[in-house]
C-alpha cells in the first residue's frame, strides 16, 4: 500500500531535477486523500476554478513524465503500478538536495509549512493594496516564505519585483535622492523596462514626490496586472535613521494611496525584517502598524518529525519514539535552520543523536561555524556581548536597553517577553557562557 508521503516522494523523484511547486504539492496531496477540487479550494482559500486548472496541469505533467494517461480519478492506481515496477528506485529526497545554508529552494520538499501562515499570506497578497509584514529572527525562513508568496503571485499572473536592501551600496544610504532612484531603477530593471528616471524626477518637487510620480505614472499605469513589490532586509535601514525616517513613511503612503487612487490598489507590498523597529516614527507614519503582520514561529514537534521523515530518519524515530527529537529541541528549540542542520548531519554523517548533542556547543560540533559567526558579531559589538553575557548568567528574564534587546533578538540569541529578554536556546547558553 503506497502512503500519501511515499507517493509524494516518488513523484518528486521521478520529476527530478524539477519538483512540484507548492500549489501542485497541495493539490497532489489533497487529491490523493480523496478530496474534491471544491473542498481543496474552500479549505485553503483558493478559487475552485484555479485549483481545477492547477490539477489539470499537474496530471498532464505526470502523464508526460510516466508516459501513461493520469487523471484525478486514477492517480492512486497508476502511481502504485509505476512504483511497484521500480522497486529499486531510491526515493530519498535528501540525496537530490544539497544542504542550503540560507533560503530553502522554492520547489524543495524540505520546506515545512507553518499553517495557517502560508495560506493566509496567499489569500492576502491578491487583495487590493495589500501589505504583508514578515518578521522573524535570522535564519527562521522569512525569505523562503517571501519567495513562495512571490511564486503564488506569479501563478496569478501578477508582476513581481524583489529588492534586498543589503545589496545596496552604503553610499546610497547617505542621501534620500540616490536611494529612491536606486529603488525605482531596480523596479524598472526587473520589469524589463527602460529606467527613464530623469523623465519623472523633478528637483523642485523633491525626491519623494518624484518617486511617487514615477511609480504611478511610469510603472503602475503601464502594467496590465498588479505588481507585488517585496523588500527584504528592511531592518538594514534602521542603521540609517535619516533615510529610514523618510522611506518607511513612504511605504505606508503607497499602501494607503490605494484608498484614494484606484491605480495604487495594484501595488501589493511585502516588507521583510528581522527585528522590531527601533527608530522614532510617528504612529500615523509607520508601515509597521498597518497591513497584515506575519511573525514566523519556531517549528513544533510535529513539524520537526515531518522534516525528519524527509531526511529518511523515520526508522530511527519509530524505534526510539520521539525522545531523540525532543532532546534535539531541548538543545536548539524549534529553530528551523538549527533543526535542519542537525537532521542533515544525522542522515549524511550517520552519527548518533547522543554524539551530535554532546558535541553541539563545542568546536568539534556541527554548529561551530554558526556559533563562530555570532561570536565575531558580538566581539565587534562589545555592548551586545556584555548584554548577552548578563542574560546568560541571569536565572530569569531580564530587561535590556531597547535597541540592544532588539538587535540580540534579530540575531536569534534571545527571545523577548514584553520588555524582558532570555536566552533563546540551551545551545547558546552552553557555548557563550564559556567564550564571552
Residues 284 and 158 in one domain: yes
110: in domain: no
Q: What is the mean pLDDT of residues 406-427?
A: 95
pLDDT of 228-264, one tens digit each? 999 999 999 999 999 999 999 999 999 999 999 999 9
Domain shared by 390 and 318, yes or no? no
Residues 66 and 40 in one domain: yes
φ, ψ dihedrals at 276, nearest 5°: -65, 155
Domains in the chain: how many in total? 4
Same domain? 150 vs 249: yes
Q: Are residues 62 and 143 in the same domain?
A: no
Question: 236: which 3 cell numbers?
Answer: 538594514
Q: What average pLDDT does the segment 18-42 reach? A: 82
pLDDT of residue 97: 44
Higher pLDDT, 1 or 102: 102
As beta bridge partners, residue 414 has 423
For residue 383 the three cell numbers come to: 555592548
Report the CATH number that the domain containing residue 179 is assigned in CATH.
3.40.50.300
Pairing label, strands 398-399, 420-423: antiparallel
pLDDT digits (tens, 9 = 90+) for 129-180: 999 999 999 999 999 999 999 999 999 999 999 999 998 999 999 999 999 9
- Containing structural domain, residue 395: 369-435
Q: pLDDT for 309-333, tens place per residue? A: 888 786 566 555 689 999 999 999 9
What pLDDT, on the 0 to 100 scale, is given for residue 90? 45
Q: What is the pLDDT of residues 184-230, one digit of tens each?
A: 999 999 999 999 999 999 999 999 999 999 999 999 999 999 999 99
How far is 238 from 216, CA to CA, in rounded Å? 27
Q: Reduce the DSSP state of residue 164 to 3 states and report it.
A: strand
At residue 190, the pLDDT reads 95
* 210 Cβ contact list (under 8 Å, min separation 6): 180, 200, 201, 202
Q: pLDDT grade, residue 94 (50/70/90)?
A: very low
Higher pLDDT among residues 102 and 222, named by residue: 222
End-to-end CA gap in the chain: 55
Cα-Cα-Cα-Cα dihedral sign, residues 172, 173, 179, 183: positive
Residue 42's pLDDT is: 75
What's the average model confidence in pLDDT over 391-412? 95
Spatial CA neighbour of 216 closest among 167, 252, 266, 169: 266
Residue 202 lies in a domain: yes
Residue with more model confidence, 131 or 71: 131
Same domain, 128 and 216: yes
- Is 91 a residue whose pLDDT tops 50? no
Are residues 411 and 315 part of one domain? no
My answer on whether 321 and 403 are in the same domain is: no
Q: Would you say residue 88 has pLDDT above 50?
A: no
3-state secondary structure of 224: coil
| Max avg pLDDT among 45-59, 64-78, 305-319 | 64-78
Q: Please give the backbone phi and psi of residue 44, each rounded to the nearest 5 degrees, phi first.
A: -120, 10
Percent of the chain with pLDDT over 70: 92
Amino acid at each position: 500500500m503506497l502512503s500519501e508521503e511515499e507517493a509524494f516522494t516518488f513523484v518528486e523523484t521521478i520529476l527530478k531535477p524539477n519538483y512540484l511547486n507548492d500549489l501542485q504539492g497541495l493539490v497532489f496531496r489533497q487529491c490523493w486523500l480523496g478530496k474534491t477540487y471544491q473542498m481543496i479550494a474552500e479549505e485553503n482559500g483558493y478559487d475552485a476554478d484555479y485549483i481545477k486548472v492547477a490539477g489539470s496541469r499537474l496530471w498532464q505533467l505526470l502523464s508526460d513524465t510516466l508516459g501513461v494517461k493520469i487523471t484525478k480519478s486514477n492517480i492512486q492506481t497508476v502511481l502504485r503500478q509505476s512504483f511497484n515496477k521500480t522497486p529499486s528506485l531510491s526515493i530519498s529526497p535528501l540525496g537530490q538536495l544539497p544542504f542550503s545554508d540560507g533560503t530553502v529552494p522554492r520547489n524543495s520538499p524540505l520546506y515545512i509549512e507553518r499553517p495557517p501562515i502560508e495560506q493566509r499570506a496567499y489569500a492576502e497578497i491578491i487583495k487590493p493594496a495589500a501589505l504583508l509584514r514578515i518578521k522573524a529572527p535570522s535564519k527562521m525562513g522569512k525569505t523562503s516564505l517571501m519567495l513562495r508568496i512571490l511564486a503564488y503571485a506569479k501563478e496569478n499572473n501578477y508582476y513581481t519585483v524583489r529588492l534586498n536592501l543589503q545589496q545596496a551600496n552604503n553610499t546610497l544610504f547617505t542621501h534620500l535622492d540616490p536611494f529612491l532612484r536606486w529603488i525605482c531603477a531596480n523596479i524598472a530593471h526587473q520589469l524589463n523596462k527602460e529606467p527613464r528616471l530623469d523623465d519623472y524626477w523633478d528637483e523642485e518637487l523633491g525626491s519623494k514626490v518624484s518617486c511617487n510620480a514615477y511609480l504611478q505614472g511610469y510603472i503602475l499605469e503601464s502594467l496590465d496586472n498588479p505588481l507585488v513589490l517585496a523588500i527584504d532586509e528592511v531592518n538594514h535601514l534602521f542603521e540609517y535613521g535619516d533615510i529610514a525616517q523618510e522611506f518607511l513613511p513612504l511605504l505606508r503612503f503607497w499602501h494607503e494611496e490605494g484608498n484614494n487612487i484606484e491605480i495604487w490598489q495594484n501595488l501589493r507590498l511585502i516588507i521583510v525584517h528581522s527585528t522590531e523597529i527601533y527608530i522614532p516614527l510617528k504612529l500615523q507614519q509607520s508601515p509597521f502598524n498597518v497591513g497584515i503582520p506575519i511573525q514566523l514561529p519556531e517549528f513544533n514537534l510535529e513539524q520537526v518529525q515531518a522534516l525528519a521523515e524527509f531526511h529518511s530518519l523515520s526508522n530511527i524515530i519509530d524505534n526510539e519514539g520521539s525522545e531523540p527529537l525532543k532532546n534535539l529541541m531541548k538543545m536548539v528549540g524549534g529553530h528551523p535552520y538549527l533543526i535542519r542542520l542537525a537532521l542533515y548531519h544525522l542522515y549524511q554523517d550517520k552519527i548518533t543523536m547522543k554524539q551530535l548533542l554532546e558535541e553541539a556547543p563545542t568546536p568539534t560540533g556541527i554548529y561551530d561555524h554558526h556559533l563562530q559567526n555570532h561570536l565575531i558579531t558580538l566581539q565587534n559589538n562589545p555592548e551586545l556581548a556584555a548584554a548577552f553575557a548578563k542574560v546568560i548568567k541571569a536565572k530569569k528574564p531580564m530587561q535590556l536597553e531597547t535597541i540592544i534587546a532588539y538587535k540580540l533578538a534579530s540575531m536569534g540569541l534571545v527571545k523577548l517577553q514584553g520588555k524582558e529578554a532570555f536566552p533563546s536556546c540551551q545551545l547558546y547558553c552552553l557555548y557563550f557562557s564559556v567564550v564571552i
